[in-house]
Amino acid sequence: MLSKQEKIAHYDRLADERGEWRERNAYYYAELEGFIANLVPRGRRVLELGCGTGELLAALAPTYGVGLDFSPRMVAAAARKHAWNDNLAFRVEDIEALATDETFDYVVMSDTIGELTDTWQAMRNLHQVTGPGSRVVITYFNALWEPVLRLGEAFGWKMPQDFQNWLSLADIRNLLYLNGFESVRFGYQLLLPKPVPLLAPLANRYLARLPLVERLALVTYVVARPLERPPPPPVAPRVSVVIPCRNERGNIRDAVERVPAMGAHTELIFVDGNSSDGTVEEIERLIDAYRDEKTIRLIHQLPPGSADGSGHGRMLRLGKGDAVRKGFAAATGDMLMILDADLTVPPEDLPKFYHALVERRGEFINGTRLVYPMEDDAMRFLNKIANKLFGVLFSWLLEQPVKDTLCGTKVLMRDDYERISAGRAHFGDFDPFGDFDLLFGAARLNLRIVEVPIRYRQRVYGDIKIERFKHGLQLLRMCWVAMKKLKFRPSH
């Protein structure tokens, strides 16, 4: 996984070869440009984000077209190639730090979002360049094709790229929705991207339009329009960030310093599960050090030093679910957040959850770690497979799309949590982490569940607390209970 600067350098090196790669895949580019041209009428004001060397923007024939790209050499090549066209202008600019504030009729992002470090921020920036009548057109490759595309790179048939964000069509629509855009048209295109005589026209004109078969096509697309932003709440909510911790001393200072201020007031509540590495002492030290700057509180799940009664002095461990419930019970905020003390979910991402709730995009905001490429060893392979399987199962159980059930960061309003808590006995109280407990409770109350993509980081201090097989069996048991309660419940 390349850094932003490494990606820029990568595309700078490829700028001179861009034309050659397009020639090798001329059929694909001609089909894609023809399709987008059908969505974008000629003679409009068009902004292309991630313009490369400018061929698509030129093909759309705008009266005023601007192409932005973070690669200086790509932009220079585009400017040279289209110097004759006075209707086009090309500039070096990062989509995630958009400075342009002109309004355009159409904003096009073709094969671009896979490279973004922060897709949420890029989507939010689209409001700078759109008005009430504007349309946003996004195309991206179908995630099912990733093995084929990787093989194409290995054989030199496709321009090499870094690992791309794992964005399904539903993910793209969700990101647009989170940031105030409504999808008005979406689907799949281009079942066969090579010019096979007779077969390619048949596949792309007819077979690609059939139900189910269309989902195998290479290109996904969305056309969206900006929604009117809801007014801010009369009074900004107070925020409580609950941080369950056990033996996380090395992460405590970062948690305190990196959690941003949100809403009218932000409090940090550490809930310690009988740590033995100095975590409690570190929290107490930081409470004193930041007394005049931040509200920091410490809660013990059990009296310090409590043993399990076996005579061996082992510490009692009640689990994260219990820690979250104790933290929420002690919280004073109107909005309740969970942040794992291992900081594998960056604290800097919490405002995205805050905005999603305040802007009423959802009522239960769940993090998802399964969109962006992960750092090495951030998640073990079996854990990743289990998370994806649980996501499929939960989407069926809850009848709402859920991609990542076990992401530690979940956010909801206090009033909704209290309703979930009051009905906890409906499913039973045996979830060791609290994630399923909250998701099942939210679904039973028909709360709108919305996911915010986050970049999952590698743990830098402490040990993983998950016992994969033991806890996995517990979670499967809870799924069975939820299946009986939610899917196979009596009709009266």
Q: State residue 474 phi and psi, 5-degree precision.
A: -65, -40
pLDDT at 32: 95
Task: Return residue ranges of the chain for CATH 3.90.550.10.
Answer: 238-487
Could you report the per-residue pLDDT of 353-389, keeping only the tens digit for each?
A: 999 999 999 999 999 988 887 766 656 666 667 777 7
**CA dihedral for 325, 330, 333, 334, sign (positive or negative):** positive
Q: Concatenated DSSP letters for 5-44?
A: HHHHHHHHHHGGGHHHHHHHTHHHHHHHHHHHHHHS-TTS
pLDDT average per 10 residues of sequence, the chain (492 residues): 85 89 92 95 97 96 97 96 96 94 96 92 96 96 85 82 83 95 95 92 91 92 93 92 95 96 97 93 96 95 60 54 94 96 93 96 92 69 71 78 85 96 76 78 91 83 60 69 69 52
Half-sphere exposure of 58 (CA within 13 A, CB side): 16
CATH homologous superfamily for 238-487? Spore Coat Polysaccharide Biosynthesis Protein SpsA; Chain A (3.90.550.10)
Instruction: Report pLDDT for 489.
Output: 64
Model pLDDT, residue 308: 44
Q: Name the 3-class secondary structure at 386.
A: helix
480-489 CB contacts, 8 Å cutoff, 24+ apart: 481/427, 481/428, 482/397, 482/427, 482/436, 482/440, 483/397, 485/426, 485/427, 485/440, 485/444, 486/397, 486/398, 486/440, 486/443, 486/444, 487/396, 487/397
CATH 3.40.190.10 fits 4-226, yes or no: no
Model pLDDT, residue 366: 94
Domain span(s) for CATH 3.40.50.150 in the chain:
4-226
- Give the pLDDT score at 398: 78
**Tokens describing residue 107:** 């904003």
The helix (H) or strand (E) run that includes residue 254 is helix 249-258
pLDDT at site 315:
42
